[in-house]
């Protein structure tokens, strides 16, 4: 009797869904990208109170502001 139960339970154990590692990887890479892009945007924005005299880190690129971005003729 016990052998019959073990034989019928074996396919159910093998067919159990596995945790999708690819989805987890997408979430981790997306989080890292969001933090990186957000940090660059924050450093390029107006400085919050208390941060006016702080220097920009070397790894953050300088983004020049345009007076009317996306309007007019291309500059190239």
pLDDT digits (tens, 9 = 90+) for 35-68: 999 988 887 777 667 777 778 778 777 777 777 6
* 61 to 34, 43, 51, 57: CA distances (angstroms): 16, 9, 18, 9
**Residue in 60, 65, 58 with CA at minimum distance from that of residue 42:** 60
Q: What is the pTM of this model?
A: 0.45
1-15 confidence digits (pLDDT tens) = 555 555 655 555 556
């Amino acid at each position: 009797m016990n052998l019959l139960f073990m034989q019928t339970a074996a396919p159910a154990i093998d067919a159990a869904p596995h945790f999708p590692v690819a989805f987890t990887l997408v979430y981790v890479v997306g989080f890292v990208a969001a933090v990186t892009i957000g940090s660059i945007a924050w450093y390029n924005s107006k400085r919050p109170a208390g941060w006016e005299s702080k220097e920009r880190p070397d790894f953050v690129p300088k983004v020049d502001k345009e007076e009317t971005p996306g309007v007019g003729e291309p500059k190239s």
